[in-house]
Structure 1
Amino acid sequence: MASVFRPVFLAPNYTFHISVLLPDANVTCIIPDDCILPCSFRPTGTVVIHWYKQQIPVHSYYYNKDQFGLQNKHFSGRTCLFNSHIPHGNASLLLRRVKVQDKGRYKCYTSTRKGNQELFVNLEVKALIHSVVMEMTNETVTCLSQNIYPVPQVTWTTDPPSAQGALENSVIKTTDHKGLFTVMSTLRIVGNLSNITFFCYFTSADKSQVWTASRKNQVDISHEEGHTLSIPCIAPQNVQNFSLTWTHTSLKEPTVILKYDTKTRHTFNLWEGEATLDQDRLLLGDASLLLHKPNVEEHSGTYTCSFSGLQSKHTVQIRVNITVSSISEDEQKVQRSWWSTAASAAFVLFTIIVALPQCVRQRGLEMRTVSHRHNGADFIEGGSSKGVDTTASFIVRQHGAECDRLQLQIETQSEMASSAPNTAEVCTADLPPGTEIEQEEKPEGPPEEGNDGLLSRSEEGDGF
């Protein structure tokens, strides 16, 4: 009995005579981006397309439309073909929002009336290193990066260089429910960490990416308020297309006080008028912050300067203590001398305005009284004027001594306060108009005619 050839039918009912095998294609996709798995065939009318991952149905197409009845739920809603390109021989698969679990070997199966074809695609996935956070304590330096795949390599260096073996670090790796890694590397240091720049490098598994983080803790600064202060921040290497951020932390949460972007040349300055940057030096990597008139309450605290560039970040941290302004001994002497001079001048001014005019008026009054008694009708016939002269002289001398003492005190104070006016000139200038100051006269000869050398009754009563 002759054998009969029976064709094999698949849905739809196509007869296959030829099977073509092509070499594997290798594709690497970035998590969580979309990814294309390539596949092409020779178009000859209608076609059947099946995508599998290790026998797991991923996507199917026949009867000129997508078929999702057998699709595995892991790929549900995340796959599609380029339907408009299928008649031209394109059976590539678009896989959306790639995950760690998507990695593996995929098969693209195509079938036409002239034969079928199998093409394999090896899919690798990776999650890029987007940032590295670096922290420092008194004893350790730590670098941390999250959502990475696969595990990167971590290395350390310092500037100035550290002794060999001093940079031994411990690495802790953990995974989340998505299969992404969190990597933390801790470097334990013995000694002072100030003014040492630490570098940690995260290198991806395929060596295509190196992310650098560096940090430096400057020595604390104490600065007197009111005097201009420059807070240093210099990048350890040439940086281009970076953004700069200055942060100030006191008793409250950190506050961004200044930001600058070299691409847009845009500057944000919360402390406008209080803090500035040198734009020319900034482009050379010197981002030192200039405080014009720092004060204790507002400007003391911790300052953090950060350069953020392409796959790199450099941080400088420094504590600033603004102190109350102190006065030197020479300045104190000058102040004491000034206050002493001012006090002397005030005393002289007070004396001139209040005490001296009263003295002058009192002296004028006494002199007029003496003159009246000497020339009036109260003299006693046959008496002597000696008693009158003696009494007048005593009264004038008594009040004159007070004025002389006051004048001497004013002159003494005037010498201490060079700005005080001359006492004698003031005394003369303040006399009422028409007032004459009479000096004490001593009788040189016999009494004038008309007095006859007689004493007044008042003088006899006083016993002179």
Structure 2
Amino acid sequence: MKAQAVLSIILILVPSLSGFHDTFLLASPSLVTEEEQIVIGRLGEDIILPCSFESEPEVVIHWKNQDKYAYSYYKDRDYLENQDHKYTNRTSLFHSEIHNGNASLSLRRLSLLDEGIYVCYVGTTSRKIINKVVLKVGVFVTPVMKYEKRNIDSFLICSVLSYPHPLITWKTDNTSISESNMGEIESLDPFYVYSMINITGSNLSYECAIENSLLKQTWTGGWTMKDDLHKMQSENFSLSCALTNSIFLLDQDFIVTWYNMEKETSSILAFFLSSSRNATIYEPRVSWNKEQINQSDFSLTLKDLSLSDSGKYLCNISSSKYTFLTIQTLRVVEQSQSRTAWIIILPLVILGFLAIGIFCMLKRHNCSRRGRYLRENMSSVPGCTGRGVSRMTSS
């Protein structure tokens, strides 16, 4: 909508610009004031502040932010002598489009100091245009979700560089976590925000959502902890990592990174870049199945396990809109432990058999001595014969 006021004659005052008139007089039957527009830009990017008019041969264009000149144009040329220094080499008009009624201003490399109300003054021989543009600048650098171990406690941390201040929410198994259980930590940078929760001893799934209301941009971080696994030394083992909802991968570039989480540091085992479909392996015993990757399954195979492979393994799947972390604890058991048990048991078994054998031999020897004694002594007894004694001893 346009609010239009009609004036019989209007005098457009133009501040002194070196080498030109102090005033610029235009006879005009009308004044047109455009409705205020809101333009949202991103820090470090370029933006166009819109301004249009009905083209005429002679035109004067001024862009101002409060009392600071951003750009001036008249008599078919630029006049930048009064331009504020913060706009130097950052502003321009679309000169080839001015005759078509385009007085828009291009503003490059936005900073937060560029925020404010910009006024576009356009004067022609028949009218004067006043167009207000409210410029808002937002910041939303891709957030990060990370897992930290501090002594015996475990934490999940979501952090972001954002302006204005973002909304951060946590869920566990689709149940909202109250703000009293979240910790938001201040930093020296007023736009750097991070929130953390204590997950010590928990095997639940967690979700962190961050929203920048100005840029209407959201990001989601997910966390899953797998059950501990026990494997034998020298075996091969598959560390699982898959997106159950592959819709997150559609039309987005993403990176998959596998980490070996040591006590205080972490080392990269492998990573996959979706844009190039390249997989890079840093550990010679690690392998990836390309067919599984094509099905959004990023499980990693670790060959010939050793005792030093015991520990936590983290899979990180990240894009500009999400991060999903999966952590798994692997415990490698030494095969020689079972052999050691047999080494201890087997001698005992052998000793047992030897003891039984010796016992039987001694028992047989005693029986033989007893038989000879009876034969020698019973033969002198009347009525006893050697045959009878032999029968007795054998019994």
Unpaired segments ≥5 residues, structure 1:
341-464
| Residue 275 to residue 88, structure 1, CA distance change in 2 (3 Å) | same
Counterpart of 2:107, as a letter, is L
Q: Deviations over 1:82-131 (max 9, x none)?
A: 12222222111011111112122111001122232111112122112412
Q: Which residue of 2 aligns with 1:223?
A: 231
Q: How does 1:281-300 map to 2 (within 5 A)?
A: 281-297=292-308, 299-300=309-310
Q: Which structure dedicates a bigger proportion of its chain to strand?
A: 2
Q: Is the 2:32–2:128 contact (alpha carbons within 8 Å) kept by the matching residues of 1?
A: yes
Query: How many correspondences in the alignment?
Result: 325
Provide the rounded CA distance (Å) in 2 between the counterparts of 1:118 and 1:165. 49
Residues 1:170 and 2:179 aligned together: no
Q: Which residue of 2 aligns with 1:135?
A: 147
Q: Which residue of 1 aligns with 2:201?
A: 192
| Residue 67 to residue 165, structure 1, CA distance change in 2 (3 Å) | closer
- Report the alpha carbon displacement of residue 153 of structure 1 after superposing the two structures with TM: 0.5
Counterpart of 2:201, as a letter, is N
Provide the rounded CA distance (Å) in 2 between the counterparts of 1:56 and 1:6. 23
- Report the alpha carbon displacement of residue 33 of structure 1 after superposing the two structures with TM: 0.4
Counterpart of 2:301 in 1: which secondary structure? strand
Q: Is the 1:16–1:116 contact (alpha carbons within 8 Å) kept by the matching residues of 2?
A: no
- Report the alpha carbon displacement of residue 281 of structure 1 after superposing the two structures with TM: 3.8
| Residue 226 to residue 269, structure 1, CA distance change in 2 (3 Å) | same
Counterpart of 1:158, as a letter, is T
Counterpart of 2:142 in 1: which secondary structure? coil
| Residue 208 to residue 230, structure 1, CA distance change in 2 (3 Å) | same
**Which one is further off, 275-284 or 122-131?**
275-284
Counterpart of 1:309, as a letter, is S
Residues 1:54 and 2:50 aligned together: no
Cα-Cα RMSD: 3.3
- Report the alpha carbon displacement of residue 285 of structure 1 after superposing the two structures with TM: 4.2
Q: Is the 1:134–1:215 contact (alpha carbons within 8 Å) kept by the matching residues of 2?
A: no
Q: Deviations over 1:202-232 (max 9, x none)?
A: 0111472210112234455443211122223
Q: Deviations over 1:390-426 (max 9, x none)?
A: xxxxxxxxxxxxxxxxxxxxxxxxxxxxxxxxxxxxx
Provide the rounded CA distance (Å) in 1 between the counterparts of 2:235 and 2:218. 43
Counterpart of 2:97, as a letter, is H
Residues 1:158 and 2:157 aligned together: no
Q: Is the 1:9–1:15 contact (alpha carbons within 8 Å) kept by the matching residues of 2?
A: no
| Residue 105 to residue 131, structure 1, CA distance change in 2 (3 Å) | same
Provide the rounded CA distance (Å) in 2 between the counterparts of 1:7 and 1:213. 59
- Report the alpha carbon displacement of residue 157 of structure 1 after superposing the two structures with TM: 0.7
Provide the rounded CA distance (Å) in 2 between the counterparts of 1:266 and 1:15. 65
Q: How does 1:266-345 map to 2 (within 5 A)?
A: 266-272=278-284, 274-297=285-308, 299-328=309-338, 332=342
**TM-score, normalised with respect to structure 2:** 0.71
Residues 1:235 and 2:247 aligned together: no
- Report the alpha carbon displacement of residue 19 of structure 1 after superposing the two structures with TM: 2.1
Q: Which has the larger radius of gyration?
A: 1
**TM-score, normalised with respect to structure 1:** 0.62
Of residues 15, 29, 32, the one that matches 2:44 is: 32
Unpaired segments ≥5 residues, structure 2:
1-8, 15-20, 351-395
Provide the rounded CA distance (Å) in 1 between the counterparts of 2:299 and 2:145. 22
Of residues 140, 149, 155, the one that matches 2:163 is: 149
Q: Is the 2:258–2:268 contact (alpha carbons within 8 Å) kept by the matching residues of 1?
A: yes
Provide the identity percentage.
Answer: 25
- Report the alpha carbon displacement of residue 292 of structure 1 after superposing the two structures with TM: 2.2
Counterpart of 1:182, as a letter, is Y
Q: Deviations over 1:155-178 (max 9, x none)?
A: 11113x5687597323345574xx
